[in-house]
Chain A
Amino acid sequence: MGSITLKQVRKSFGDVEVIPGVDLEIHDGEFVVFVGPSGCGKSTLLRLIAGLEDVTSGQIVIDGQDVTQAAPAKRKLAMVFQSYALYPHMSVRKNIAFPLKMAGMPADEQERRVQHAAGILNLTDYLDRRPGQLSGGQRQRVAIGRAIVREPSAFLFDEPLSNLDAALRVNMRVEISELHKKLATTMVYVTHDQVEAMTMADKIVVLRAGRVEQVGSPLELYRKPANRFVAGFIGSPNMNFIEGEAAARMGAHAIGVRPEHFVMSTTEGAFAGTVGVAEHLGSDTFLHIELDGGTPIVARAAGEFPVDHGDRIWLTPQEGRVYRFDKNGLAL
């Protein structure tokens, strides 16, 4: 079991309101990702759920129980920190067993669970090492191991991959996703990286300035962004926005087209422009284009597309892939 409900949760530090009031429903077994730019309150929201911060007002319910005032340990949650927060003076075995020891579990049961977790996470050979002797990825796995032995009702991850290098990040992303499939336990995951959000989540919560901008599955957010912020945040490279006359013709303040939704031609199309930088990756071609009106555009062509700096190019948005936004940035 692991359902989490936030009811009008507010948090302020002194006079500064960080979370102005969030309602959120997380179902048992879901992988929920909080995503948003830095300072959007996503980590604070996670820490409120964990009980590491007091809520200013509102209610947090876990598995039907009001835990708003409960101590962190009483919430049956486990957390993986950005810095891993391993105990440097304990071996890997002791690190993983620590929550069990705190719960007063008998030693043989502790050992059994540690072995089990170590097996899942490929840590069996490292149990007697200290965290200082491990690589970043291994430390990450120890932190996860420490979380899973408790068999919590939900896992909380606070930007767990941001200290890893790019290649390892991709691996760990997959490992965490697999772990979720294997354990089928609720996971709440905080990141500023929309790629992590898109690849891992069942449900994404996009936050900005402490407010929930949109909640939905990755493809829902991709297909139907509720506003210009979500549209710009989800998807890589970012969505292009065109304002002015071209937008007005479609009855909007601004229109948005994703880089991958342009049809490109060297002879004709809806918008004309000049190629600035062309990035030929082989599998894809990314073109940084300046439209004749001066608007910068990034467009992606699948495969090879032989143009270079200074070439003229024409772009046409694909049918049904143009997003329209009003003055306040809301989708029309």
Chain B
Amino acid sequence: MARKISDTRRWGFTILAWGVAFLIFFPILWTILTSFKSEADAIASPPKFLFFDWTTQNYAEVQSRSPYFRHFMNSVIISVGSTLLGLLIAIPAAWSMAFQPAKRTKDLLMWMLSTKMMPAAGVLIPMYLLFRSWGLLDTRFGITVVLMLINLPIITWMLYTYFREIPSEILEAARMDGASLKNEILHVLTPMAVPGIASTLLLNVILAWNEAFWTLNLTTSKAAPLTTFIASYSSPEGLFYAKLSAASTMAIAPILILGWFSQKQLVRGLTFGAVK
């Protein structure tokens, strides 16, 4: 836009936008600030915004009360594991749907997406009972497989839209150049698809990290990721604002940072390429 914008207009929008953005961000900021307060400062009235005795005591206490690090590792293993597993299954499927589309490919994709719409409540009981009889309750393996399954449609869709943007002539060129299917995937398709695969991976790690139906219902302690760990603070004995904030900050920090870095890819991925 080559139009000239007056400085007053620009400053007006700047102030308005910063104000609104600050309000939206405030709960997170407040949580982070509170995590550095003493419990007394945390519930002080009037509230203390910046001028309090900064302390990292809460972080130490959270760790000693419940092994934060173990839950953190559970979250990492479950979210990354389920995403990688999903990619392993979805990449070949998306590849063939993008490059060898059949008449029913569109319907197949629609059907996959529709499985996402099945309410978790409809299958909670059998899953719970099956998990119980297979001894999978509260195991990392069990919850990883479930999260892989619930995110598989999204992974497949995202990859499909990314793959479709790779011109099929390039793959034909590789075939003419004598590349076997293995080499075609290894040397041509994969390098070209890496950006798309990476953003699919990121988004699904975020979704799996924050998933809070199956993790809450199928894990309790040993395999519990951070979602379950944090939920344990909802009981009255956990009502210490500073410690709650410290635990929360630790639970959201990794994904918040990851998310900020990948917000561009995120939009494209989440809309299945429907919004450019």
> Given A85-B169, A85-B170, A87-B170, A79–B192 Cβ distance below 8 Å?
no
For residue B167, which residue of chain A has the nearest CB?
Answer: A83
Query: What are 21 sample pairs from A and B whose C-beta atoms fall under 8 A apart?
Result: A52-B172, A52-B175, A72-B176, A79-B172, A79-B173, A81-B169, A82-B169, A83-B167, A83-B169, A85-B167, A86-B170, A87-B174, A87-B187, A87-B188, A87-B191, A87-B192, A98-B174, A98-B179, A99-B176, A99-B178, A150-B178
> What residues of B have a CB within 8 angstroms of the CB of A300 in the complex?
none
Query: Chain A's nearest CB lies how many Å from the CB of B109?
Result: 21
> Is A249's CB within 8 Å of the partner chain B?
no
Given A73-B180, A81-B173, A146-B173, 20 more pairs with CB closer than 8 A: A52-B172, A72-B172, A73-B178, A73-B179, A77-B176, A81-B169, A81-B172, A82-B169, A83-B169, A85-B172, A85-B173, A87-B170, A87-B187, A87-B191, A89-B191, A98-B174, A98-B177, A98-B179, A102-B177, A150-B178
For residue B172, which residue of chain A has the nearest CB?
Answer: A52
Total interface residues on A, using CB and 8 Å?
A: 23
A50 and B187: CB pair below 8 A? no
> Is B96's CB within 8 Å of the partner chain A?
no
Shortest 3 CB-CB contacts between residues of A and residues of B: A73-B178, A99-B177, A85-B173
> Is B221's CB within 8 Å of the partner chain A?
no
A102 and B179: CB pair below 8 A? yes
Q: How far is the CA of A83 from the CA of B169 in the complex (A)?
A: 8
> Interface of B with A (CB < 8 Å)?
167, 169-170, 172-180, 183, 187-188, 191-192
Which residues from 80 to 124 on chain A have a C-beta closer than 8 Å to any C-beta of chain B? Answer: 81-83, 85-90, 98-99, 102-103
For residue A82, which residue of chain B has the nearest CB?
Answer: B169
Query: Chain B's nearest CB lies how many Å from the CB of A107?
Result: 15
> What residues of A have a CB within 8 angstroms of the CB of B172 in the complex?
50, 52, 72, 79, 81, 85
For residue A76, which residue of chain B has the nearest CB?
Answer: B178
> Is A78's CB within 8 Å of the partner chain B?
yes
